[in-house]
Structure 1
Amino acid sequence: MHRYSHYFPVRTAADHLDVVPLLQAGFASRAGHTLLEFNGVATSFAEMEHLVKRMRAWLQQQGIARGDRVALMLDNGLEHMALIYALMLTGAVWVPVNTRLKAPGISYLLGHCKPALFVAQPGFADALAGLDTPPARLAWINEIALPEVAADAPLTAEPVAPEDTLCLIYTSGTTGAPKGVVFTHRMMRIASEGTVIVSAVKAGDRMFVWEPLCHIGGAQLLLVPFLEEVSLHVIERFSATRFWPQVEQAQATHLHYLGGILDILCQLPPEVQPARHTLRVGWGAGVSAKAWDGIKNRLGIALRECYGMTEGSSFTTVNNTGKTGSIGRALPWLRVELLDDGDRPVPIGELGQIVVSSEVEGCFLPGYLDNPKASAEARRGGKLYTGDMARMDADGDLFFVGRKTDSMRVRGENVSAWEIERIFVMHPAIAAAAAIGVDSEVGEQEIMLYVQFKEGMQESFDALARWAHSRLASYQLPRYYLRAEAFETTLSERIRKHLLSRDLSAAWDRNAHASK
């Protein structure tokens, strides 16, 4: 009996909660079934297996072996997915490169992890042209000549252990330099098992995949069809204007949401959303209690809000009861505590840091690449300290509040930027908002709110402040307001706040106007 079998199904005799046996078993048993559709074109398990064999042969030609790092800067696509599967079977380390990075960010990543091979597509040539140092070896995906491989050739794999590194996932770098999360084969398997539970998929479901594969939100979906009889319906990137036609073409049943995706969909004109559609479930993170019912009713889907982070194999909790605004409770193999700065449990209803533990080995990152200080801060005493804050109600359900580093201290209160932003994006004229802390002349901090208005719409800051007065506590009310034409965001649509100026000279001051 495997130690983890109490929590996870043992899928094959060789299964040790890893990836390679799962891939081999799936390709062997589901040959004629559809694995995915990319831009409406179906690919079966057998067709993907053949492409993966050719990718593996090409990697061998390039001298790539187990443990070698291979960086990929590619949009979603069939060859991209086949190359990832091939890297898994080879035991090489996949390094996803954020496709929004410019030359300085790419240079940092390449200098930090030093991949043996960098595979990119021509659309990113301008960014690569500005690199401080060119990659050791660069291959353009459109110029790869894949070797021919017999269709009946066996799908071989290197002897890869669950604790071996599968990929290096670099954090978004919203504060400080990005950290390379060492993500093991077991962590990817757990992330995929978590996806099945959180999304509540079942045989015959069709999962809409818009997330970039260089983000854990997309990467964790690659194994789901090997766990359940579902298919992936993949597009190159998210487009609000094309979303509903794409869902209709795919007959998709499940949508993963991150950042402001659901807000964007709710801001579309009502007439572009079909009166009847196939989507049943939205699963992900980012829906506040205030917006909960409005989103459910507008989109006509059930919400399964969850919480997690890359360092913890993606998923930690899930709300499977539908309680408004809650991130639910810990997944079966995890234990969640809310602790104060002295590592003491906080009382019910009080704010505490989410700290996670498990009796299943390998749930959490072994460390950040070449960053022992950050590794020691994240993992202490066998527990994962997330840096995220939450409250627990009397029923034992959790409510996400925000990053410990994305909060402000205002008049003796800890204020979550996330809670403020979720209120303002409910205003009919606002497309996006970002709250940050700025210095106060009387100590602690004041709140400054950046506001991006919807196209063709605007509201005075005085009117916004009055609108917010009945919706936020006094200590949550922004003092300063600034208009933003657009925000620079991460791949998960989170605003890169460290790029926002703290200069108050051009800001509208609520206090100054209130005193007139």
Structure 2
Amino acid sequence: MKNSVAMDPIDHTLFRDTLAARAIEEPNTVFLRFGDDTYTIGQINAASNRVANALLGSGLKPGDRVGLMLPSHPDHIIAIFATMKAGLVRVPVNVHAKGPSLEHYFTAYDLAALVADDQYRAQLDEAFVEVAAPAIIWRGSVDGRGDNYEALVAQASDAEPDVCFDTDDILALTPSSGTTGAPKGVLKSDRTLRAGPMAVLKITDARPGDVFLLWEPLHHGAGVAVIISAVLGKVTLAMVERFSVSNFWNDVRRYGVTHIHYLGGVLPLLLKQPPSDQDRDHKVRIAWGGGCPPEIWRDVEERFGVTLREGYGLSELITFVTLNLDRRVGSCGVPLSLYDLKVVDDDGQEVAAGEVGEIVAKSKQPETGFLGYFRNEETTRDTQRDGWLLTGDLARRDEDGFIFYAGRKKEMLRRRGINISAWEVEQVVNKHAAVAECALIGVPSELGEDDLKIVIRLIEGASLDPMALIEFCEARMPYYQVPRYVEEISEFPKTPTQRIRKKELSRSVSSSWDLEATGRTVSRKPVKA
């Protein structure tokens, strides 16, 4: 790549030491707002110490794996910081998981203990019929069953925990997104857990006293990166329980937010809300994240008066390994100077500028590279080639080395001998004024390979004739990308970062609208849009 964004190597200073130092230097600085409650950095540090000492006092020791199944609440932030102070290996448990997906945490990660909120007891009781339960510390328990989180913490010291571990010791197993196949536990050290947040501070240009809106669930790496970056960058957090498109800007105004983070379909959802004379009534300077459709980039900036900055990252590395600080529309930028990136074909050869290939990455600082999957040497090995991490993500690069995301390799569909990027089709369909969001999936074809089915969720109160949608597509995409089937859905199943879980969408077409059933065929010559 010709360009890169300069970033210093990640040093040896443990996160716990930075948090402790800040608590000494500025104990009364506000770190977190949640509802009407305010938490200073001194209070957060002391509370984290108490939880860390309570966990260690329960018999756990550095290196033990501890699951956290907690709601979006300040206690969750404190518990995350506590594991990093105690040298414990945090395993985030998705609070929406149930059945086999929940059981997977206990069969795959060999937990020594689980800190769980009592509201998830029914899910866990069901899971523990099939798998053995670790030691459980219940938060909010009222029936005296099991260890009580509040009681243990109340008896613990708020002194810094007396344990030793290294900056490259493993402190978390971050499950990969799990949109296909069972999630794999990505090994994360103190150093890699700080590297992503340092990139967040780089992309946001955040200054001490700035305010980040924290809407991301903390069982996902993006949310964890935000809270760690707030400690490292002396930023204040405004925490809400969940993402709400209708309350989003009210929360931004209420807390004086200066930076907002977006993922998946967040920006299209915000843009499709009714315009308001308050759209620019806020303090936000920068919206940062990934996945903004290129065609709405300038619309978002103009309507809301913010600057968009995109990046690209993945669970196996860090939050961002590329940054677009130049507002080059549609691009996720160029690599951080910590990483080498290439766009290659199936044989590992770099493709020419403008051609689609797979992103492969390598860290120049080995300690911030891919550390592997927990107890999964075979997949760890298969995910790499000659020292390069195979990301499974497709992209193009321009002559300046800027990366343009082009979807997941596993989501490439093949129709009539032609490869089709689901991502490219979805970008077009999402432009339709009646469509809130959509997903393209392959369905069985009598001719072999795939037929295309577009699943759409309409904006509230809207209606859409499927034929009108097909004609909309014909005018804006090659004939071979135009879907055959159209199906409406009231709500998409999603990951914590608002990505649609395509594997949960039905491949049946029995209730879908079928273009071929109308006797109409797709025009091979798109009309002028």
How far apart in 1 are the matches of 2:92 and 2:435?
33
Q: Deviations over 1:353-396 (max 9, x none)?
A: 10111221222232111222221122332221101000011222
**Deviation, structure 1 residue 408:** 1.1
How far apart in 2 are the matches of 1:254 and 1:488?
27
- Structure 1 unaligned regions, length at least 5: 1-5
Quote the residue 1:147 is aligned against.
154
**Deviation, structure 1 residue 435:** 0.2
Relative to structure 1, is the Cα distance of residues 279 and 40 closer, same or farther in structure 2, using a 3 angstrom cutoff? farther
* Superposition RMSD in Å: 1.9
- Corresponding residue SS for 2:94: coil
CA contact (8 A) 1:312 1:364 kept: yes
Amino acid at match of 1:133: V
How far apart in 2 are the matches of 1:235 and 1:299?
21
CA contact (8 A) 1:40 1:250 kept: no
Quote the residue 2:499 is aligned against.
494
RCO higher in structure (CA 8 A, sep ≥6): 2
CA contact (8 A) 2:53 2:157 kept: no
How far apart in 2 are the matches of 1:181 and 1:272?
45
Quote the residue 1:3 is aligned against.
none
How far apart in 1 are the matches of 2:382 and 2:361?
13
Quote the residue 2:480 is aligned against.
475
1:307 aligns with 2:318: no
Amino acid at match of 2:8: F
The correspondence for 1:329, drawn from 310, 329, 334, is: 334
TM-score for the superposition, normalised by structure 1: 0.93
Amino acid at match of 1:147: A
Q: Aligned pair count?
A: 505
Task: Tell which deviates more after alignment, 129-138 or 307-316.
Answer: 129-138
Q: Deviations over 1:481-516 (max 9, x none)?
A: 112222111111111111122223332222342538
CA contact (8 A) 1:421 1:435 kept: yes
Amino acid at match of 2:370: L
How far apart in 1 are the matches of 2:190 and 2:157?
28
1:282 aligns with 2:278: no
Relative to structure 1, is the Cα distance of residues 149 and 180 closer, same or farther in structure 2, using a 3 angstrom cutoff? closer
Q: Deviations over 1:421-474 (max 9, x none)?
A: 122222121122110123334444322111112222110110111112112222
CA contact (8 A) 1:20 1:157 kept: no
- Corresponding residue SS for 1:276: coil
Quote the residue 1:74 is aligned against.
70
Task: Tell which deviates more after alignment, 211-220 or 74-83.
Answer: 74-83
Quote the residue 2:126 is aligned against.
130
Amino acid at match of 2:83: L
- Corresponding residue SS for 1:198: helix
Task: Tell which deviates more after alignment, 396-405 or 493-502.
Answer: 493-502
Task: Tell which deviates more after alignment, 431-440 or 142-151.
Answer: 142-151
How far apart in 1 are the matches of 2:121 and 2:301?
41
1:192 aligns with 2:197: yes
The correspondence for 1:432, drawn from 432, 437, 448, is: 437
Quote the residue 2:8 is aligned against.
8
Task: Tell which deviates more after alignment, 494-503 or 349-358.
Answer: 494-503
CA contact (8 A) 1:100 1:491 kept: no
Relative to structure 1, is the Cα distance of residues 480 and 213 closer, same or farther in structure 2, using a 3 angstrom cutoff? same
Quote the residue 2:109 is aligned against.
113
The correspondence for 2:376, drawn from 347, 356, 371, is: 371
The correspondence for 2:254, drawn from 240, 243, 249, is: 249
Amino acid at match of 2:137: A
How far apart in 1 are the matches of 2:190 and 2:410?
30
How far apart in 2 are the matches of 1:421 and 1:492?
18
How far apart in 2 are the matches of 1:230 and 1:198?
14
Identity %: 34
Amino acid at match of 1:505: S
Amino acid at match of 1:292: W
Relative to structure 1, is the Cα distance of residues 179 and 470 closer, same or farther in structure 2, using a 3 angstrom cutoff? same
How far apart in 2 are the matches of 1:17 and 1:413?
51
How far apart in 2 are the matches of 1:250 and 1:480?
45
CA contact (8 A) 1:17 1:189 kept: no
- Corresponding residue SS for 2:410: coil
Task: Tell which deviates more after alignment, 35-44 or 65-74.
Answer: 35-44
How far apart in 1 are the matches of 2:114 and 2:155?
22
Quote the residue 2:524 is aligned against.
none
Q: Deviations over 1:173-205 (max 9, x none)?
A: 221112111122111011111111122212221
**Deviation, structure 1 residue 412:** 4.1
- Corresponding residue SS for 1:369: coil
How far apart in 1 are the matches of 2:329 and 2:58?
52
